[in-house]
Structure 1
Amino acid sequence: MSKAPIAPELDQLPGYSIRRLQQIAVALFLQETEVHGITPVQYAALHTVCRSPGIDQRTLAAAIGLDTSTTGGVIDRLEAKGALQRSPSEHDRRVRLLTATEEGQALAKAVAPAMLRAQERILAPLPAKDRKEFLRMLRVLVEANNELSRAPSSGI
């Protein structure tokens, strides 16, 4: 007597497909940005600091959906590359404010075209008319489930 399957095939499960797409997105990003030596998470941090100079580490972590300890490591690596600098807050000496250096701003600007190519490659298999709708549906899922994340994003 054959047993019924416990669950549908993996490729029928949204979580499995989302995880695979995330792996593919990282691979495409790294291919496109290889000459710059930056990861997707480092780019997200650098991009956010460039747009919000003087942001503190906790606010940055919330903005990009990372826990503060992971964000600390990302900042350490960007600081070691000369892309970011930390400075103490005038109001709270325990808080470090982040700013992009000239090198960091140049790196963010240089990486942007490659990052955009990676985004285009992610969506390339979809018909052009479906891409905006796909992104809209992704945002609905992310926003509706944001609080379930280990590190909910504030999306500043």
Structure 2
Amino acid sequence: MKDNNDMPGHLARRFQQIAVAVFHAEAEAAGYDLTPVQYAALAAISANPGIDQVTLAGLIAYDRTTITGVVDRLVQKGFIERRASKRDRRARELEITEAGRETLSGIMPAVEAAQRMMLRGLNADESEELLRLLRKAIAAGNELSRAPFREASADVAKTAGRIESDRDG
């Protein structure tokens, strides 16, 4: 029987525990109350203005039913707003607020520090190799996940581009 330290599932779970603990510690030390998933959602909404919750869930590889709670907390914190979609009355579009933009910008040094800390036992080449191998394993197993990663549709990208050009004009 294999030792847990030789099992990829065990190692992935342990690395996830460490990653979450490090993120929380760095964010808290910087004065932010944001979870890793809330950060990922906020960053995705910032990069994709007008995104709907289902697309957001796919972009950050998060369960569709659980994303509602994440969005609710970001709305409560004043970081995003939910708006009725002009294209589909059943859908809700998400927009980052000024407070959300400020938080995203302000927390970046803590996020970057957390990333460095997670890889602190590795040299630069080893870090790159670990990331390459993780991306490869994740891509190969993406469809096995209960919350697979999904690219934003071209329609979302076009809408986001229209929103940006509307703001500029």
TM-score range relative to shorter protein: over 0.9
C-alpha contact 1:87 1:97 (8 A) present in aligned 2: yes
Could you report, residue by residue, the CA deviation over 1:63-117 in whole angstroms, capped at 9, with x for unpaired residues? 0001111110000000000001000011211100000000001111111110010
SS at match of 1:98: strand
Q: Which amino acid aligns with 1:53?
A: P
Q: Which amino acid aligns with 1:120?
A: R
C-alpha contact 1:64 1:155 (8 A) present in aligned 2: no
SS at match of 1:36: coil
Structure 1 match to 2:62: 66
Q: 2:52 aligns with which of 51, 56, 77?
A: 56
Structure 2 match to 1:4: none
Q: 1:29 aligns with which of 23, 40, 56?
A: 23
Q: Which amino acid aligns with 1:111?
A: I
Q: What 5-or-longer segments of structure 2 have no aligned partner? A: 153-169
C-alpha contact 1:42 1:78 (8 A) present in aligned 2: yes
Q: CA RMSD in A?
A: 0.8
Instruction: Report the Cα distance in structure 2 between the residues aligned to 1:107 and 1:24, rounded to whole angstroms.
Output: 23
Q: Which amino acid aligns with 1:9?
A: D
Count how many residue pairs are aligned between Structure 1 and Structure 2. Answer: 150
Structure 2 match to 1:146: 142
Structure 2 match to 1:113: 109
TM-score, reference length from structure 1 = 0.94
Structure 1 match to 2:43: 47
Q: What 5-or-longer segments of structure 1 have no aligned partner? A: 1-6
Structure 1 residue 152, shift from structure 2 partner: 0.3
Instruction: Report the Cα distance in structure 1 between the residues aligned to 2:71 and 2:125, rounded to whole angstroms.
Output: 38
Instruction: Report the Cα distance in structure 1 between the residues aligned to 2:4 and 2:87, rounded to whole angstroms.
Output: 51
Q: Which amino acid aligns with 1:30?
A: H
1:20 equivalenced with 2:14 (yes/no) = yes
Structure number with larger C-alpha Rg: 1
Instruction: Report the Cα distance in structure 2 between the residues aligned to 1:91 and 1:155, rounded to whole angstroms.
Output: 20
